A and B are shown apart, each in its own frame.
Chain A
Amino acid sequence: GQQVMQIPQYQHVQEGEDFTTYCNSSTTLSNIQWYKQRPGGHPVFLIQLVKSGEVKKQKRLTFQFGEAKKNSSLHITATQTTDVGTYFCALAGSYIPTFGRGTSLIVHP
Protein backbone atom coordinates (compact mmCIF):
# COMPACT_ATOMS: atom_id res chain seq x y z
CA GLY A 1 0.00 0.00 0.00
CA GLN A 2 0.93 3.63 -0.10
CA GLN A 3 3.43 4.86 2.42
CA VAL A 4 3.49 8.28 3.97
CA MET A 5 6.29 9.84 5.93
CA GLN A 6 5.50 12.58 8.39
CA ILE A 7 8.16 14.84 9.88
CA PRO A 8 9.22 15.87 12.38
CA GLN A 9 8.12 13.33 14.99
CA TYR A 10 8.26 15.94 17.77
CA GLN A 11 8.47 19.71 17.80
CA HIS A 12 9.00 21.92 20.81
CA VAL A 13 8.17 25.59 20.35
CA GLN A 14 7.81 28.62 22.53
CA GLU A 15 4.33 30.05 22.59
CA GLY A 16 4.03 32.54 19.76
CA GLU A 17 6.46 30.74 17.45
CA ASP A 18 5.34 29.15 14.21
CA PHE A 19 5.10 25.41 13.60
CA THR A 20 5.07 23.28 10.47
CA THR A 21 4.61 19.56 9.93
CA TYR A 22 5.20 17.84 6.62
CA CYS A 23 3.70 14.78 5.03
CA ASN A 24 5.50 13.15 2.10
CA SER A 25 4.66 10.29 -0.21
CA SER A 26 6.59 8.59 -2.97
CA THR A 27 3.43 8.23 -5.03
CA THR A 28 0.80 10.64 -6.23
CA LEU A 29 -2.02 11.10 -3.74
CA SER A 30 -5.67 11.41 -4.66
CA ASN A 31 -6.37 13.40 -1.54
CA ILE A 32 -5.04 13.97 1.94
CA GLN A 33 -6.68 14.58 5.28
CA TRP A 34 -5.36 16.18 8.44
CA TYR A 35 -6.39 15.28 11.99
CA LYS A 36 -5.52 16.62 15.42
CA GLN A 37 -5.36 14.51 18.56
CA ARG A 38 -5.16 16.29 21.88
CA PRO A 39 -3.30 14.50 24.70
CA GLY A 40 -5.58 11.78 26.04
CA GLY A 41 -8.11 12.44 23.30
CA HIS A 42 -9.19 11.03 20.00
CA PRO A 43 -8.32 12.19 16.47
CA VAL A 44 -10.49 14.99 15.20
CA PHE A 45 -10.81 15.80 11.52
CA LEU A 46 -9.40 19.16 10.48
CA ILE A 47 -9.52 19.29 6.71
CA GLN A 48 -9.28 17.42 3.42
CA LEU A 49 -7.25 18.58 0.43
CA VAL A 50 -8.00 17.31 -3.04
CA LYS A 51 -6.64 19.64 -5.70
CA SER A 52 -3.06 20.07 -6.80
CA GLY A 53 -1.54 23.18 -5.23
CA GLU A 54 -4.54 23.67 -2.99
CA VAL A 55 -4.16 25.99 0.00
CA LYS A 56 -6.78 26.20 2.73
CA LYS A 57 -6.80 28.26 5.89
CA GLN A 58 -8.52 27.82 9.22
CA LYS A 59 -7.72 30.83 11.40
CA ARG A 60 -4.02 30.37 12.27
CA LEU A 61 -3.73 27.02 10.45
CA THR A 62 -2.67 26.85 6.81
CA PHE A 63 -2.86 23.60 4.87
CA GLN A 64 -1.12 23.04 1.56
CA PHE A 65 -1.21 20.27 -1.02
CA GLY A 66 1.81 20.10 -3.27
CA GLU A 67 1.64 20.78 -6.97
CA ALA A 68 2.63 17.19 -7.72
CA LYS A 69 0.21 15.89 -5.08
CA LYS A 70 3.01 14.01 -3.36
CA ASN A 71 3.32 16.13 -0.27
CA SER A 72 1.34 18.28 2.10
CA SER A 73 2.03 20.59 4.99
CA LEU A 74 0.26 22.07 7.98
CA HIS A 75 1.54 25.40 9.25
CA ILE A 76 0.42 27.03 12.48
CA THR A 77 1.16 30.73 12.91
CA ALA A 78 1.87 32.08 16.38
CA THR A 79 1.26 28.88 18.33
CA GLN A 80 -0.83 28.89 21.47
CA THR A 81 -0.95 26.37 24.30
CA THR A 82 -4.27 25.17 22.92
CA ASP A 83 -2.43 23.93 19.82
CA VAL A 84 -0.72 21.19 21.84
CA GLY A 85 -1.35 17.73 20.45
CA THR A 86 -0.40 15.33 17.72
CA TYR A 87 -1.16 16.20 14.12
CA PHE A 88 -1.69 13.37 11.67
CA CYS A 89 -1.95 13.35 7.93
CA ALA A 90 -3.91 10.55 6.31
CA LEU A 91 -3.97 9.27 2.77
CA ALA A 92 -7.63 8.55 2.28
CA GLY A 93 -7.95 7.63 -1.37
CA SER A 94 -8.85 4.01 -0.80
CA TYR A 95 -10.80 1.83 1.58
CA ILE A 96 -7.83 1.54 3.89
CA PRO A 97 -6.58 4.99 4.86
CA THR A 98 -2.90 5.28 5.65
CA PHE A 99 -2.02 7.52 8.54
CA GLY A 100 1.32 9.16 9.04
CA ARG A 101 2.98 8.54 12.39
CA GLY A 102 2.08 12.05 13.49
CA THR A 103 3.94 15.10 14.72
CA SER A 104 3.60 15.88 18.39
CA LEU A 105 3.59 19.59 19.08
CA ILE A 106 4.69 20.77 22.50
CA VAL A 107 4.14 24.45 23.23
CA HIS A 108 6.06 26.04 26.08
CA PRO A 109 4.36 29.06 27.66
Chain B
Amino acid sequence: EAQVTQNPRYLITVTGKKLTVTCSQNMNHEYMSWYRQDPGLGLRQIYYSMNVEVTDKGDVPEGYKVSRKEKRNFPLILESPSPNQTSLYFCASSLFRADTEAFFGQGTRLTVV
Protein backbone atom coordinates (compact mmCIF):
# COMPACT_ATOMS: atom_id res chain seq x y z
CA GLU B 1 0.00 0.00 0.00
CA ALA B 2 1.33 3.41 -0.98
CA GLN B 3 1.81 5.47 2.12
CA VAL B 4 3.73 8.04 4.10
CA THR B 5 4.53 6.89 7.62
CA GLN B 6 5.33 9.25 10.46
CA ASN B 7 6.46 8.38 13.95
CA PRO B 8 5.62 9.01 16.66
CA ARG B 9 1.96 9.99 16.37
CA TYR B 10 1.98 11.77 19.70
CA LEU B 11 4.88 13.21 21.66
CA ILE B 12 5.12 15.25 24.82
CA THR B 13 8.56 16.59 25.60
CA VAL B 14 10.29 19.23 27.67
CA THR B 15 11.89 22.43 26.49
CA GLY B 16 15.39 21.93 25.15
CA LYS B 17 15.34 18.16 24.78
CA LYS B 18 16.32 17.23 21.25
CA LEU B 19 13.85 15.14 19.33
CA THR B 20 13.40 13.62 15.90
CA VAL B 21 10.18 12.88 14.06
CA THR B 22 10.66 10.28 11.38
CA CYS B 23 9.00 10.20 7.97
CA SER B 24 9.20 7.45 5.40
CA GLN B 25 7.48 6.98 2.04
CA ASN B 26 7.31 3.86 -0.12
CA MET B 27 6.33 5.48 -3.43
CA ASN B 28 9.80 6.40 -4.69
CA HIS B 29 8.80 10.06 -4.61
CA GLU B 30 11.49 12.65 -5.18
CA TYR B 31 9.80 15.56 -3.38
CA MET B 32 9.21 15.48 0.37
CA SER B 33 8.24 18.20 2.78
CA TRP B 34 7.29 19.01 6.34
CA TYR B 35 4.37 21.17 7.44
CA ARG B 36 3.07 22.42 10.72
CA GLN B 37 -0.61 23.02 11.25
CA ASP B 38 -1.84 25.50 13.83
CA PRO B 39 -5.44 26.57 14.50
CA GLY B 40 -6.50 29.36 12.18
CA LEU B 41 -3.20 29.34 10.30
CA GLY B 42 -3.64 26.36 8.04
CA LEU B 43 -0.64 24.41 6.79
CA ARG B 44 2.73 26.10 6.66
CA GLN B 45 5.74 24.51 5.07
CA ILE B 46 8.83 24.10 7.24
CA TYR B 47 11.37 22.48 4.91
CA TYR B 48 11.29 20.62 1.66
CA SER B 49 13.57 18.31 -0.27
CA MET B 50 13.67 17.87 -4.00
CA ASN B 51 15.85 14.77 -3.86
CA VAL B 52 18.54 13.03 -1.87
CA GLU B 53 20.93 15.51 -0.25
CA VAL B 54 18.89 18.45 -1.59
CA THR B 55 16.91 20.36 1.03
CA ASP B 56 15.69 23.92 1.33
CA LYS B 57 13.78 26.16 3.68
CA GLY B 58 10.05 26.62 3.51
CA ASP B 59 8.08 29.44 5.06
CA VAL B 60 8.77 28.69 8.74
CA PRO B 61 12.15 26.92 9.08
CA GLU B 62 13.42 28.54 12.31
CA GLY B 63 14.14 25.99 15.03
CA TYR B 64 14.04 22.98 12.72
CA LYS B 65 16.52 20.87 10.82
CA VAL B 66 16.04 18.15 8.22
CA SER B 67 18.15 15.65 6.35
CA ARG B 68 17.62 13.55 3.24
CA LYS B 69 20.24 10.83 3.17
CA GLU B 70 17.94 8.32 1.51
CA LYS B 71 15.15 8.91 -0.95
CA ARG B 72 12.49 7.32 1.23
CA ASN B 73 13.30 9.04 4.55
CA PHE B 74 13.01 12.67 5.57
CA PRO B 75 13.34 13.16 9.34
CA LEU B 76 12.48 16.40 11.10
CA ILE B 77 14.84 17.38 13.89
CA LEU B 78 14.16 19.83 16.69
CA GLU B 79 17.54 20.48 18.31
CA SER B 80 16.16 22.51 21.21
CA PRO B 81 12.36 22.44 21.21
CA SER B 82 10.44 25.36 22.66
CA PRO B 83 6.77 25.70 23.62
CA ASN B 84 6.00 27.68 20.47
CA GLN B 85 6.81 24.55 18.49
CA THR B 86 3.83 22.81 20.01
CA SER B 87 1.84 21.93 16.92
CA LEU B 88 0.54 19.24 14.61
CA TYR B 89 3.18 18.20 12.12
CA PHE B 90 2.67 16.55 8.76
CA CYS B 91 5.15 14.99 6.41
CA ALA B 92 4.19 14.84 2.74
CA SER B 93 5.64 13.45 -0.44
CA SER B 94 4.91 13.91 -4.11
CA LEU B 95 6.32 12.47 -7.27
CA PHE B 96 8.24 15.51 -8.45
CA ARG B 97 7.70 19.10 -7.47
CA ALA B 98 5.02 20.55 -5.29
CA ASP B 99 2.66 20.84 -8.23
CA THR B 100 1.85 17.16 -8.22
CA GLU B 101 -0.47 15.35 -5.86
CA ALA B 102 0.87 15.35 -2.32
CA PHE B 103 0.46 12.34 -0.02
CA PHE B 104 0.41 13.20 3.65
CA GLY B 105 1.42 11.17 6.65
CA GLN B 106 -0.93 10.62 9.58
CA GLY B 107 0.51 13.51 11.53
CA THR B 108 2.50 13.95 14.74
CA ARG B 109 1.01 15.94 17.57
CA LEU B 110 3.87 17.49 19.49
CA THR B 111 3.56 19.21 22.83
CA VAL B 112 6.56 21.01 24.30
CA VAL B 113 6.22 21.92 27.97
**How many A residues, CB 8 Å from partner?**
25
**Contact call A102/B42, Cβ cutoff below 8 A:** yes
Contact residue range for chain B? 20 to 34
**Contact call A43/B104, Cβ cutoff below 8 A:** yes
Residues of chain B within 8 A (CB-CB) of A96 are 45, 48, 58-59, 98
CA of A30 to CA of B45, assembled, Å: 19
A4-34 CB contact bits vs B (8 Å, 1 = yes)?
A: 0010010000000000000000000011010
**Contact call B59/A42, Cβ cutoff below 8 A:** no
From B41, B44, B101, B103, A48 is in contact (CB under 8 Å) with B101
Q: Does chain B have a CB within 8 A of A101?
A: yes
Residues of chain B within 8 A (CB-CB) of A1 are 59
**Contact call B99/A92, Cβ cutoff below 8 A:** yes
Task: Decide: A100 near B56, CB < 8 A? Known: A42-B107, A94-B98.
Answer: no
25 contacts between A and B (CB under 8 A): A9-B40, A31-B99, A33-B99, A33-B101, A33-B102, A35-B102, A41-B107, A42-B90, A42-B107, A43-B90, A45-B102, A48-B100, A48-B101, A90-B43, A92-B100, A93-B98, A93-B99, A94-B97, A95-B48, A95-B97, A96-B59, A96-B98, A97-B99, A99-B44, A101-B42
